[in-house]
């Protein structure tokens, strides 16, 4: 079973993602900020991590830098989900090593397809 | 006391002066150099032995006349601020070193005029110096009760005078440049001025309270003396005229006496020292004169019926009562008064003698051929020899010519002679049309009148009393009956002098150089910044030629430095060899202090070829330069305005950029804030649309989310619009008198049950005397609600919210405290920003728009108040400060 980690501080957004991925057969982990992500990653190695950029305590950019440092997470795909839509923000996210940068609001259908593709490659 | 003891005391006293001069000159400390009181005291060189002894004599024999000599300066001194600041500036920029330089430069930098003025001054002052020597000698013999010997080698005065001459020639010629300040001498003179006043006051107190029983006692006793009333009134209109003219005479003296010009102008270090001098100096004179009356009349009472010279009362009185100490103190005071006069006078006269007579008429050609070491050594030697010469001549006067004249009369004669400089002196500062011819002829005429009517009769009187009376009849035709001799001659000589000066000046044209200096003198404030530019000169001159002359006096190194400064000031290339008018004037200035203005001009003339300029041409150039200066000033003003404008624009621009950036940031934040609920709505909607077998509960959750997120969107939009209106000022506050506690309760009410549900303890503290304030109630309710809403959100279960109302520094202060997490210090000022969200924020995203506190701040700002957050031990307080002044709220 594929594992997905959803990190967002907006509860109502998380609800929709959780429902969708669970239905698509993922094991879903939820984190409400970067520090919870890093805490979770000590025990789990998800196949994909969905990261919001603007989160309290530890934001998405910092979180991905921590992720990229860890050897055991090198196969783990990271996808940013963010309402920050400036080209500069997107570029920054990709430069930090994200596999994709999806801007909010997104189409759930397209998002799941994109993630499936990402994992099959 | 015998001669040897007193002589030893004099030696000690002189040693003290030498030491002060040495110390001041060596240390060059601010105490001496930059002290307006030292400056003011040095002006008191005005008070000589004449004041010390002479005034007493006049007060006793002639009555109030003595006061006129001090009233004149006291009346005119306030005008110093205008007149003397001007003279100081003129002298500074032209490197003037004496009054002869000052006047002769104005009348075309004339060598002959400078020499004439110098001779007049020397002739007028030498007897005056002789008088001081006489005072020293007379009082010395009086104190030691010895005879004045005819042999000059056994006369103590000889040796005292010799020492003074050595002191003057050493400290008076320390610098080759005569326009330099002589710190040592001025410091010694200031100390002497201080001492002579103190000593005189001691005598005054001794006489008034030691011998008599205060002023009343003296007055009571003196009243019975026969001539008391007559001596202590102005003696009607006639007497008043005499008195007034004598006051005017002393008024001119305070400007024109070479020693006064020297201490006031040449030795002035800072113009604003004048401000201190204009009250210290008159005060000094008043204190001095305060005791003249009791000493004079006390003496008259004590020596009634005895034939005693009242000028010597100051020493005779203590002697009569056996007080050697007081008589020695008085002697030292008189000695100080004499010495400082002799020192300053001999130094100034020696400068005139060297710079205006000896060098321009005898040494220029020699200087041209020699080097700087030789020249400087000789300049200094000329001055040293001059000092000795002057003092020796004065000594001869004392010893052989004026033994019988009183201090007062000799002093007044020299005042009248010096007063002849008044027309050309004051004309120089205020009148452009005055000419050389007018000034010289006026001066000579005035001096002639003085000689014929004042000096010649005096000498004739000494030979044959009858002749003198006949001689005086020359003036008989003009004689104003009630005037005494001195005011009479003063009046007529000065009238003739000034009239001739005016008539000749108006009817002749004068040469261009006079006109040029007239402009610089009268308009000095306009030219103070670049006076060299105001000098008019046309012709051919090479920098290298002039440089050769400069080197002969300044030496290689100093010349190089001076040229560098000049080139820098006027932005001129070092290679340039064509000398312009500015350079000519600059070079003359460099030499002026050393050899006098006239010689400087003659030397520079020798290596340059000046074209003739006609007077109209000069006037035209002056007019142009005036216009240029005005234009320049306008341009400077305009460019300053432009700079200010461009500064304003730049700051406006940067503030616009800042605003633009803020707007971008705001837009960024807004879109982000709007996208978040939209994301939730869109996702939920999409799932609901696509997923047919979605469980009912989840479906319900999603639909509820859609509704609540739509509400949130709407709320954000409302807040943004509201904030925009607050910012642009479209919302007018509705200020009324309200009860702040009631207002708070209105805000609290809707949220109160939520607070209770969370088991939060709410309390109020009211420290106000009066609950009523002026504000817009609806807005303040909003502020309270936003703050309370946040407090509710951030306070943990069973926490506490406490509100406190108080008046502090006339401000209404409301503090709303809640327990819970503190705000990171670096964010404490940021929380009132729109959509503030700290990266250190460690609480779940609060429900709300992120605009609440920003709105609060805007509302409080509109009330001219202040809102800020403060971390406390166990929580956070949001403080609101509002103006308590009920009328001022907007």
Cα–Cα distances in angstroms (integers) from residue B675 to residues B179, B489, B709, B720, in the given order:
83, 106, 11, 15
Q: Give dist(CA B382, CA B373) in Å, integer.
A: 14
B698's enclosing H/E stretch is helix B696-728
Residue B408 pLDDT:
62
Residue B888 pLDDT:
47
Does A10 contact B676 at a Cβ distance shorter than 8 Å?
yes
Asked if the model's pLDDT at residue B679 lies above 80, the reply is: yes
Choose the mutation target among B793, B839, B841 for the interface with A, i.e. most A CBs under 10 Å.
B839
Nearest Cα neighbor of B51 from B252, B311, B329 is B311
Q: Which residue has the tokens 């400089």?
A: B421
pLDDT tens digits, one per residue of B750-800: 889 889 888 899 999 998 888 888 899 989 998 999 899 888 888 888 889
- What letter would DSSP give residue B398? I
Q: What is the end-to-end Cα distance of chain A in Å, rounded?
A: 17
Tell me the two tokens of residue B289: 């004169």
pLDDT tens digits, one per residue of B285-316: 899 888 888 888 888 888 887 878 888 888 88
CB contacts of B709 in chain A (<8 Å) are 12
Name, in order, each residue with C-beta under 8 angstroms of B454's C-beta and a sequence gap of 6 or more.
B413, B416, B485, B486, B489
Residue B807, helix vs strand vs coil: strand
Q: Which residue has the tokens 């404008």?
A: B645
Residue B890 pLDDT:
41
Q: Is B292 exposed, middle or buried (0-12, 13-18, 19+ CB in 10 A)?
A: buried
Please list the pLDDT of chain A residue by residue as tens digits (121 residues): 889 999 998 889 999 999 999 999 999 999 988 889 999 999 999 999 999 988 877 889 999 999 999 988 888 999 999 988 888 889 999 999 999 999 999 999 999 999 999 888 6
Choose the mutation target among B672, B682, B683, B711 for the interface with A, i.e. most A CBs under 10 Å.
B683
pLDDT tens digits, one per residue of B550-609: 888 888 888 888 888 888 777 777 778 888 888 888 888 888 888 888 888 888 888 888
Q: Give dist(CA B292, CA B311) in Å, integer.
A: 11
Does B842 contact A83 at a Cβ distance shorter than 8 Å?
no
Tell me the two tokens of residue B728: 């642009």
Q: Give dist(CA B90, CA B424) in Å, integer.
A: 15
CB contacts of A16 in chain B (<8 Å) are 680, 683-684, 687, 702
Residue B20 pLDDT:
86
Asked if the model's pLDDT at residue B840 lies above 50, the reply is: no
Residue B406 pLDDT:
55
Provide the H-helix boundaries in chain A. Answer: 11-23, 34-41, 60-69, 87-95, 108-120
CB nearest B686 (choices: A32, A83, A109): A109
Tell me the two tokens of residue B190: 């200031």
Name, in order, each residue with C-beta under 8 angstroms of B774's C-beta and a sequence gap of 6 or more.
B735, B736, B737, B738, B886, B887, B889
Name, in order, each residue with C-beta under 8 angstroms of B234's C-beta and a sequence gap of 6 or more.
B64, B240, B243
Residue B780 pLDDT:
92
pLDDT-derived band at B868, boundaries 50, 70, 90: very high
B→A contacts (Cβ < 8 Å), by residue, are 668, 671-673, 675-684, 686-687, 690-691, 694, 698, 701-702, 705, 708-709, 837-845
Residue B46 pLDDT:
87
B168's enclosing H/E stretch is helix B156-171
Tell me the two tokens of residue B844: 């779940």
Q: Which residue has the tokens 């006391």?
A: B1
pLDDT tens digits, one per residue of B734-751: 888 899 999 999 999 988
Q: Which residue has the tokens 């990171």?
A: B824
- A-B interface: how many C-beta pairs under 8 angstroms? 81
Tell me the two tokens of residue A97: 């090593």
Asked if the model's pLDDT at residue B543 lies above 60, the reply is: yes
Does A13 contact B690 at a Cβ distance shorter than 8 Å?
no
- Measured in whole angstroms, how far is the alpha carbon of residue B56 from the centre of its chain? 36
Choose the mutation target among A11, A105, A112 for the interface with B, i.e. most B CBs under 10 Å.
A105
Residues 26-65 of chain A whose Cβ lies under 8 A from any Cβ of chain B: 32, 54, 56-57, 59
Asked if the model's pLDDT at residue B88 lies above 80, the reply is: yes
CB nearest B842 (choices: A57, A59, A107): A57
pLDDT-derived band at B235, boundaries 50, 70, 90: low
Q: Which residue has the tokens 């594929």?
A: A2
Q: CB neighbours (10 Å) of residue B733?
A: 17
Q: What is the end-to-end Cα distance of chain B in Å, rounded?
A: 88
Choose the mutation target among A13, A57, A81 for the interface with B, i.e. most B CBs under 10 Å.
A13
A103's enclosing H/E stretch is strand A100-103
Q: Give dist(CA A27, CA A35) in Å, integer.
A: 20
Asked if the interface predicted TM-score (ipTM) of this complex is over 0.85, the answer is yes
Contact indicator for B686, A110 with CB cutoff of 8 Å: no
Contact indicator for B277, B39 with CB cutoff of 8 Å: yes
Nearest Cα neighbor of B201 from B290, B310, B277, B297 is B290
Residue A16 forms contact with B (CB below 8 Å): yes
Q: Give dist(CA B688, CA B695) in Å, integer.
A: 10
Does A59 contact B839 at a Cβ distance shorter than 8 Å?
yes
């Amino acid at each position: 079973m594929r594992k997905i980690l959803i990190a967002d501080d907006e509860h109502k957004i998380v609800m929709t993602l959780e429902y969708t991925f669970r239905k698509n057969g993922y094991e879903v982990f939820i984190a409400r900020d970067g520090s919870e992500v890093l805490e979770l990653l000590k025990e789990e190695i998800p196949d994909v991590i969905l990261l919001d950029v603007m989160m309290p305590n530890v934001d998405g950019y910092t979180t991905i830098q921590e992720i990229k440092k860890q050897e055991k997470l090198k196969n783990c795909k990271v996808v940013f989900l963010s309402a920050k839509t400036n080209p500069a923000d997107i570029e920054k996210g990709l430069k930090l090593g994200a596999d994709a940068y999806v801007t909010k609001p997104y189409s759930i259908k397209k998002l799941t397809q994109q993630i499936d593709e990402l994992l099959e490659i | 006391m015998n001669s040897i003891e007193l002589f030893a005391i004099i030696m000690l006293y002189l040693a003290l002066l030498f030491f002060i001069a040495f110390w001041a000159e060596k240390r060059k400390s601010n105490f001496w150099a930059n002290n307006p009181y030292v400056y003011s005291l040095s002006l008191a060189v005005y008070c000589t032995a004449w004041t010390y002894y002479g005034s007493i004599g006049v007060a006793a024999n002639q009555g109030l006349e003595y006061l006129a000599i001090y009233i004149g300066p006291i009346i005119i001194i306030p005008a110093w601020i205008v007149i003397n600041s001007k003279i100081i500036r003129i002298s500074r920029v032209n490197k003037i070193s004496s009054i002869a330089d000052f006047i002769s430069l104005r009348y075309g930098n004339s060598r002959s005029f400078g020499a004439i003025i110098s001779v007049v001054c020397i002739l007028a002052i030498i007897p005056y110096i002789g008088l001081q020597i006489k005072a020293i000698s007379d009082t010395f013999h009086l104190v030691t009760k010895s005879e004045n010997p005819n042999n000059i080698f056994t006369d103590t005065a000889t040796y005292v005078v010799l020492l003074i001459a050595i002191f003057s020639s050493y400290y008076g010629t320390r610098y080759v440049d005569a326009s330099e300040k002589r710190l040592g001498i001025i410091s010694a003179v200031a100390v002497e001025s201080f001492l002579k006043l103190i000593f005189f006051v001691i005598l005054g107190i001794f006489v008034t309270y030691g011998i008599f029983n205060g002023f009343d006692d003296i007055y009571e006793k003196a009243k019975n003396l026969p001539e008391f009333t007559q001596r202590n009134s102005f003696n009607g209109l006639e007497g008043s005229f005499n008195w007034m003219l004598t006051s005017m005479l002393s008024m001119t003296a305070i400007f024109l006496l070479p020693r006064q010009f020297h201490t006031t102008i040449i030795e002035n270090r800072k113009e604003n020292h004048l401000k201190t001098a204009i009250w210290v100096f008159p005060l000094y004179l008043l204190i001095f004169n305060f005791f003249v009356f009791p000493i004079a009349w006390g003496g008259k009472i004590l020596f009634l019926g005895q034939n005693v010279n009242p000028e010597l009362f100051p020493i005779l009185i203590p002697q009569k009562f056996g007080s050697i100490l007081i008589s020695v103190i008085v002697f030292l005071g008189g000695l100080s008064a004499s010495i400082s006069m002799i020192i300053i006078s001999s130094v100034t006269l020696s400068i005139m003698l060297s710079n205006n007579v000896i060098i321009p008429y005898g040494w220029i050609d020699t200087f041209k051929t020699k080097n700087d070491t030789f020249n400087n050594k000789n300049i200094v030697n000329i001055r040293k020899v001059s000092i000795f010469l002057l003092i020796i001549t004065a000594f001869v006067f004392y010893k052989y010519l004026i033994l019988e004249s009183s201090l007062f009369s000799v002093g007044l004669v020299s005042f009248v002679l010096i007063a002849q400089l008044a027309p050309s002196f004051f004309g120089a500062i205020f009148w452009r049309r005055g000419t050389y011819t007018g000034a010289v002829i006026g001066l000579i005429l005035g001096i002639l009148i003085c000689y014929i009517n004042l000096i010649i009769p005096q000498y004739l009187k000494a030979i044959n009393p009858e002749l003198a009376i006949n001689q005086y009849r020359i003036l008989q035709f003009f004689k104003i009956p009630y005037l005494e001799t001195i005011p009479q001659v003063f009046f007529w000589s000065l009238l003739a002098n000034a009239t001739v000066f005016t008539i000749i000046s108006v009817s002749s044209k004068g040469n261009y150089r006079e006109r040029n200096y007239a402009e610089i003198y009268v308009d000095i404030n306009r030219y103070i910044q670049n006076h060299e530019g105001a000098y008019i000169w046309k012709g051919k001159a090479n920098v290298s030629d002039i440089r050769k002359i400069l080197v002969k006096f300044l030496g290689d190194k100093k010349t190089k430095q001076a040229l560098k400064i000049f080139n820098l000031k006027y932005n001129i290339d070092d290679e340039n060899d064509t000398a312009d008018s500015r350079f000519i004037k600059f070079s003359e200035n460099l030499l002026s202090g050393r050899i006098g203005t006239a010689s400087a001009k003659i030397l520079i003339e020798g290596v340059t070829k000046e074209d003739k300029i006609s007077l109209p041409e000069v006037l035209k150039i002056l007019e142009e330069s005036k216009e240029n200066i005005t234009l320049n000033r306008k341009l400077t003003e305009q460019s300053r305005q432009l700079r200010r404008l461009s500064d304003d624009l730049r700051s406006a621009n940067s503030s616009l950029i800042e605003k633009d950036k803020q707007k971008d940031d705001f837009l960024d934040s807004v879109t982000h804030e709007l996208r978040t609920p939209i994301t939730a709505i869109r996702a939920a909607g999409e799932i609901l649309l696509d997923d047919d077998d979605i469980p009912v509960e989840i479906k319900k959750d999603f639909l509820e989310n859609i509704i609540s997120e739509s509400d949130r969107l709407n709320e954000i939009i409302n807040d943004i619009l509201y904030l925009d209106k607050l910012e642009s000022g479209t919302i007018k506050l509705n200020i009324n008198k309200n009860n702040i506690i009631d207002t708070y309760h209105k805000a609290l009410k809707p949220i109160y049950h939520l607070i209770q549900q969370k088991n939060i303890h709410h309390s109020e503290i009211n420290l106000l005397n009066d609950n009523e304030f002026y504000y817009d109630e609806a807005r303040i309710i909003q502020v309270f609600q936003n703050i309370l809403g946040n407090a509710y959100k951030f306070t943990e279960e069973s926490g506490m919210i406490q509100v406190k109302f108080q008046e502090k520094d006339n401000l209404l202060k409301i503090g709303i405290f809640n327990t819970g997490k503190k705000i990171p210090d670096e964010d404490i000022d940021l929380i009132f920003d729109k959509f503030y969200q700290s990266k250190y924020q460690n609480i779940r995203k609060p429900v709300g728009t992120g605009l609440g506190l920003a709105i609060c701040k805007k509302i409080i700002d509109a009330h001219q108040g202040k809102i800020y957050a403060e971390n406390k031990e166990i929580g956070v307080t949001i403080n609101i400060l509002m103006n308590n002044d009920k009328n001022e709220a907007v």
